Amino acid sequence: MKFLPDQVVARLQTGMQTPDLSGTRYRAIELLGQGGMGAVWLAQDSILQRPVALKVLAAENSSADLASRLMQEAVILARLEHPGIVPVHDAGTLPDGRTFYCMKLVEGKTLDRYALKLPLRERLRLFQRIAEPLAFAHSRGIIHRDLKPANVMVGSFGEVLIMDWGLAKVMATTGAPSPTNPVPRQVVVDLEESSAATQISGGAFSTPKQDPGHVMDATELYPPAKQVSGHVVDATELSPLAKQVSGHEFTRAVQGSLKTGALAPENPTAHGTVLGTPGYMAPEQERGEVNLIDQRTDVFALGSILKHLLQEPPGSQEHESYSRPLRAICAKATSAGMSARYPSVQDLAADVGRYLDGLPVSAYRENIFERMARLVSRNRVAVVLVLAYLFMRLLFILFSRR
Partner 1 sequence: MSNKIVLGLVLGGVLGILDGLTAWFTPAVRAGIVGIVFGSMFKGLIAGVLIGIFARKVHSLALGILFGLAVGAFLAWIIAFMQHGYYFQIMLPGAMVGLIVGYATQKYGASSQLQRA
Residues engaged in binding partner 1 (CB under 8 A): 381-382, 385-386, 388-389, 392-393, 396-397, 400-401
Query: Which DSSP state fits 59?
Result: G
What is the closest distance, in whole angstroms, from the C-beta atom of residue 360 to partner 1 in the complex? 16
Q: Which is nearer to partner 1, 235 or 356 (CB)?
A: 356
Q: Which is nearer to partner 1, 209 or 380 (CB)?
A: 380
Question: How many residues does the structure list for the chain?
Answer: 402
What is the closest distance, in whole angstroms, from the C-beta atom of residue 212 to partner 1 in the complex? 36
With H, G, I as helix, E, B as strand and everything else as coil, classify residue 189. Answer: strand
Nearest CA among 157, 140, 175, 160 for reference residue 86: 160
What is the closest distance, in whole angstroms, from the C-beta atom of residue 387 to partner 1 in the complex? 11
Residue 260 near residue 37 (C-beta atoms within 8 A): yes
Q: Which is nearer to partner 1, 1 or 381 (CB)?
A: 381
Q: Which is nearer to partner 1, 242 or 392 (CB)?
A: 392
Crossing angle (nearest 10°) for helices 345-356 and 324-333: 180
What is the closest distance, in whole angstroms, from the C-beta atom of residue 356 to partner 1 in the complex? 17
With H, G, I as helix, E, B as strand and everything else as coil, classify residue 81. Answer: coil
What is the closest distance, in whole angstroms, from the C-beta atom of residue 399 to partner 1 in the complex? 9
Query: Which are the contacts of 121, defined by CB distance < 8 A and separation ≥ 6?
Result: 356
What distance in Å separates the CA atoms of residue 125 and residue 265, rounded to the nearest whole number?
A: 26
Beta strand ranges found along 164-308 (DSSP E):
169-172, 186-189, 243-245, 248-250
For the question of residue 146 being annotated catalytic, the response is yes
Q: Which is nearer to partner 1, 369 or 399 (CB)?
A: 399
Nearest CA among 355, 294, 292 for reference residue 325: 355
What distance in Å separates the CA atoms of residue 297 and residue 376, rounded to the nearest whole number?
A: 37
Q: Which is nearer to partner 1, 376 or 396 (CB)?
A: 396
What is the closest distance, in whole angstroms, from the C-beta atom of residue 19 to partner 1 in the complex? 53
What is the closest distance, in whole angstroms, from the C-beta atom of residue 401 to partner 1 in the complex? 7
From 45, 65, 112, 146, the catalytic residue: 146
What distance in Å separates the CA atoms of residue 259 and residue 36, rounded to the nearest whole number?
A: 7
Backbone φ and ψ for 334, nearest 5 degrees, come out as -105, 25
What distance in Å separates the CA atoms of residue 203 and residue 199, rounded to the nearest whole number?
A: 7
What distance in Å separates the CA atoms of residue 166 and residue 76, rounded to the nearest whole number?
A: 9
Question: What is the signed CA dihedral for 310, 311, 316, 320, rounded to 10 degrees?
Answer: 50
- CB half-sphere exposure, 42, CA atoms < 13 A: 10
DSSP string, 39-95: EEEEEEETTTTEEEEEEEE-GGG--HHHHHHHHHHHHHHHH---TTBPPEEEEEE-T
Active-site positions read 146
